[in-house]
Amino acid sequence: MKKQTVLVFVMTSLVACGGGIDSTAPSSAPAASPMAAALDGRSYDVTFEAPDDAPKKDTLRFSGGKFESTACTALGFPEWSDYAAQAKGNEIAFQATTRHPSGTTLSWKGSIQGNAIDGTANRTMNGKTDILHFKGSTSL
Protein backbone atom coordinates (compact mmCIF):
# COMPACT_ATOMS: atom_id res chain seq x y z
CA MET A 1 0.00 0.00 0.00
CA LYS A 2 2.88 2.38 0.72
CA LYS A 3 4.23 2.02 -2.83
CA GLN A 4 0.84 3.06 -4.22
CA THR A 5 0.79 6.15 -2.00
CA VAL A 6 4.21 7.24 -3.27
CA LEU A 7 3.16 6.62 -6.86
CA VAL A 8 0.02 8.73 -6.39
CA PHE A 9 2.14 11.59 -4.96
CA VAL A 10 4.58 11.46 -7.87
CA MET A 11 1.81 11.31 -10.44
CA THR A 12 -0.06 14.26 -8.92
CA SER A 13 3.16 16.27 -8.69
CA LEU A 14 3.68 15.69 -12.40
CA VAL A 15 0.63 17.85 -13.00
CA ALA A 16 2.53 20.95 -11.91
CA CYS A 17 6.04 20.13 -13.03
CA GLY A 18 5.71 17.59 -15.79
CA GLY A 19 8.60 15.34 -16.64
CA GLY A 20 7.82 14.09 -20.11
CA ILE A 21 9.82 14.51 -23.28
CA ASP A 22 9.47 17.73 -25.25
CA SER A 23 11.58 18.42 -28.29
CA THR A 24 10.22 21.97 -28.77
CA ALA A 25 11.60 23.38 -25.50
CA PRO A 26 13.39 26.74 -25.70
CA SER A 27 17.11 26.60 -25.10
CA SER A 28 17.91 29.72 -23.07
CA ALA A 29 17.05 30.83 -19.53
CA PRO A 30 16.86 34.42 -18.38
CA ALA A 31 20.10 35.64 -16.87
CA ALA A 32 20.06 36.60 -13.21
CA SER A 33 19.47 40.34 -12.89
CA PRO A 34 20.92 42.81 -10.38
CA MET A 35 17.39 43.12 -8.92
CA ALA A 36 17.37 39.36 -8.34
CA ALA A 37 19.28 39.89 -5.10
CA ALA A 38 16.20 41.64 -3.67
CA LEU A 39 14.44 38.25 -3.60
CA ASP A 40 17.39 36.24 -2.28
CA GLY A 41 16.66 34.42 0.95
CA ARG A 42 12.90 34.47 0.40
CA SER A 43 10.62 31.46 0.03
CA TYR A 44 6.90 31.23 -0.66
CA ASP A 45 4.36 28.49 -0.05
CA VAL A 46 2.11 28.41 -3.10
CA THR A 47 -0.87 26.51 -4.42
CA PHE A 48 -0.98 25.55 -8.10
CA GLU A 49 -4.17 25.35 -10.09
CA ALA A 50 -3.85 23.26 -13.23
CA PRO A 51 -6.44 22.48 -15.89
CA ASP A 52 -8.57 19.45 -14.97
CA ASP A 53 -6.79 18.71 -11.67
CA ALA A 54 -6.99 19.40 -7.96
CA PRO A 55 -4.81 22.20 -6.49
CA LYS A 56 -1.23 21.21 -5.58
CA LYS A 57 1.19 22.64 -2.99
CA ASP A 58 4.74 23.80 -3.72
CA THR A 59 7.45 25.99 -2.21
CA LEU A 60 9.25 28.53 -4.39
CA ARG A 61 12.68 29.62 -3.16
CA PHE A 62 15.10 32.37 -4.19
CA SER A 63 18.80 32.32 -3.29
CA GLY A 64 22.00 33.69 -4.85
CA GLY A 65 20.22 34.86 -8.02
CA LYS A 66 18.70 31.38 -8.42
CA PHE A 67 15.12 30.06 -8.28
CA GLU A 68 13.76 26.68 -7.16
CA SER A 69 10.40 24.95 -7.15
CA THR A 70 10.81 22.23 -4.51
CA ALA A 71 8.06 20.10 -6.07
CA CYS A 72 9.87 20.17 -9.42
CA THR A 73 13.25 19.44 -7.83
CA ALA A 74 11.72 16.31 -6.27
CA LEU A 75 10.79 15.21 -9.82
CA GLY A 76 14.30 15.55 -11.25
CA PHE A 77 14.42 19.19 -12.34
CA PRO A 78 17.69 20.97 -11.48
CA GLU A 79 17.61 22.35 -7.95
CA TRP A 80 18.44 25.91 -9.00
CA SER A 81 17.82 27.96 -12.17
CA ASP A 82 18.68 31.59 -12.92
CA TYR A 83 15.92 34.13 -12.50
CA ALA A 84 15.48 37.77 -13.42
CA ALA A 85 13.59 40.34 -11.37
CA GLN A 86 12.51 43.94 -11.81
CA ALA A 87 10.97 46.40 -9.35
CA LYS A 88 7.76 48.18 -10.39
CA GLY A 89 6.82 50.51 -7.53
CA ASN A 90 6.21 48.30 -4.48
CA GLU A 91 5.97 45.18 -6.65
CA ILE A 92 8.79 42.89 -7.78
CA ALA A 93 8.18 41.00 -11.02
CA PHE A 94 10.26 37.89 -11.69
CA GLN A 95 10.74 35.29 -14.38
CA ALA A 96 12.63 32.02 -14.60
CA THR A 97 12.79 28.96 -16.79
CA THR A 98 13.31 25.49 -15.37
CA ARG A 99 14.17 22.50 -17.59
CA HIS A 100 13.87 18.82 -16.84
CA PRO A 101 16.59 16.64 -18.44
CA SER A 102 13.84 14.88 -20.45
CA GLY A 103 12.87 18.18 -22.13
CA THR A 104 9.87 19.47 -20.15
CA THR A 105 10.14 23.18 -19.38
CA LEU A 106 8.33 25.57 -17.09
CA SER A 107 8.45 29.27 -17.88
CA TRP A 108 7.66 31.07 -14.63
CA LYS A 109 6.36 34.65 -14.41
CA GLY A 110 5.18 36.13 -11.17
CA SER A 111 4.88 39.17 -9.00
CA ILE A 112 5.51 39.76 -5.34
CA GLN A 113 3.90 42.49 -3.24
CA GLY A 114 4.69 42.43 0.44
CA ASN A 115 4.31 38.80 1.56
CA ALA A 116 2.06 37.76 -1.36
CA ILE A 117 3.12 36.05 -4.58
CA ASP A 118 1.11 35.12 -7.66
CA GLY A 119 1.77 34.24 -11.25
CA THR A 120 1.83 31.58 -13.92
CA ALA A 121 4.06 28.75 -15.02
CA ASN A 122 3.71 27.77 -18.66
CA ARG A 123 4.52 24.06 -18.77
CA THR A 124 5.62 22.71 -22.15
CA MET A 125 5.64 18.93 -22.25
CA ASN A 126 5.40 16.60 -25.25
CA GLY A 127 4.78 19.55 -27.58
CA LYS A 128 1.79 20.82 -25.56
CA THR A 129 1.78 23.95 -23.36
CA ASP A 130 -0.48 24.30 -20.31
CA ILE A 131 -0.81 27.45 -18.23
CA LEU A 132 -0.62 26.77 -14.50
CA HIS A 133 -1.61 29.48 -12.03
CA PHE A 134 -0.02 29.82 -8.59
CA LYS A 135 -0.50 32.06 -5.60
CA GLY A 136 0.63 32.06 -2.02
CA SER A 137 2.59 33.89 0.64
CA THR A 138 5.91 34.02 2.45
CA SER A 139 6.96 30.73 4.07
CA LEU A 140 7.29 30.82 7.83
H-type helices in the chain, by residue range?
Answer: 2-17, 70-73
pLDDT of 2 over the 60 cut: no
Closest CA to 102 of 72, 68, 133, 140: 72
Residue 116: which domain range? 2-138
- Average pLDDT along the chain: 79
pLDDT of 20 over the 70 cut: no
pLDDT of residue 140: 63
How many structural domains is the chain composed of? 1
CATH number for the domain harbouring residue 15 = 2.40.160
For the whole prediction, is pTM greater than 0.85?
A: no
Q: Please report, to the nearest 10 degrees, the dihedral formed by the alpha carbons of residues 96, 100, 103, 106 taken in order.
A: -30
pLDDT, tens digit, 9 for 90 and up, residues 107-126: 999 999 999 999 999 999 99
pLDDT of residue 18: 56
